[in-house]
Amino acid sequence: MSDATADLDPAAGPGHRPALAVFTHLACLDHDPGLGHPENPARLAAVLDALESGLPDLTWLEAPQALRSQLSRVHTPALLAEVLDRHVEGHYRIDADTIMNNCSREAALRAVGAGVAAVDAVMSGSHRRAFCAVRPPGHHATADIAMGFCLFNAVAVAAAHALEQHGLSRVVIADFDVHHGNGSQDIFQRDPRVMYLSSHQAPLYPGTGYHEERGVGNILNAQLPPGSGSAAFRAAWSDALLPAIDQFRPQLVLVSAGFDGHRLEPLADLNLETDDYTWLTAELLARAERHARGRIVSLLEGGYSLTALRECALAHVRALAV
């Protein structure tokens, strides 16, 4: 991984700027929940290797650490204290699935910082699109609870940053992870400036994301029964979720990019193919072009088959880089 900040020429016109930036940091590899945990450093290593070998001309940028003030836009002081201020020796178990080691604090700050920096990049026009190759994932973390492998909710912090720092009034979060992003929904369900859209397997952890959960009209969930494949996935987006984006007319598109709906995924039971992620990425890009001046920021969420994760992340980023 190279630091590609030198590739950016501030004197160059917009046509000379790389369309896509990939934000990451090696600290995200040091978060280790312990032997046998599915959300392990090998996941991100697989993604980085796939992108470096498959797309050698990518622009790589270093993810900064998020500021406490940025985190506090969506998270409570108690959660910040639990993750940031706790001294950890060995491992600290927040719940059965969510475990920290002494490197988790920086990894979480870098993961959130990537989303914030990516929003700044697309809003400033230095890049039109961004992908955040980071871990731990984030979309299960609520305002006050770290859960489901997630310490902080990076996509929620990115959305709040776009609202508060850049003055946007319509931000969409499109979540195609196989698990419902209960944290993202929880944080924004009473904020009409953010639309949260999710397709996910049901029943499955965390047991939320029913159609009747509508927030203030800004929440839309599409449940997919176990065994669902490409046809059901594409229909959920084509018939309901993508039209909702067009109706909302977002000024920024954020993506919770989980690849655990793939047929090889060990923690779920959908039967998606790599091409399904290419298709949906292109559809989301079309909405970003139509409504948001092309501005789209994608953040890595789940995906626990290393083979599928490599293939799908590469397909997703290749589509973003077009």
Beta strands 92-93; 99-100: pairing state: antiparallel
Does residue 160 form part of some domain?
yes
pLDDT, tens digit, 9 for 90 and up, residues 168-211: 999 999 999 999 999 999 999 999 999 999 999 999 999 999 99
Class of residue 89 by CB neighbours under 10 A (exposed 0-12, middle 13-18, buried 19+): exposed
Domain CATH for 153:
3.40.800.20
Does residue 13 form part of some domain?
no
Residue 13 has pLDDT above 60, yes or no: no
Considering the entire predicted model, what is its pTM?
0.94
pLDDT, tens digit, 9 for 90 and up, residues 54-83: 999 999 999 999 999 999 999 999 999 999
* pLDDT value for 18: 73
Domain that holds residue 152: 18-320
Beta strands 296-300; 194-201: pairing state: unpaired
Does residue 68 form part of some domain?
yes
Does residue 10 form part of some domain?
no
Residue 276 has pLDDT above 80, yes or no: yes
Of 25, 31, 75, 140, the active-site residue reads: 140
Does residue 8 form part of some domain?
no
**Rounded (5°) CA angle 47-48-52:** 120
Is 16 annotated in the active site? no
Domain count, the chain: 1
* Structure token digits, residue 268: 């779920």
Does residue 132 form part of some domain?
yes
Does residue 117 form part of some domain?
yes
Does residue 5 form part of some domain?
no
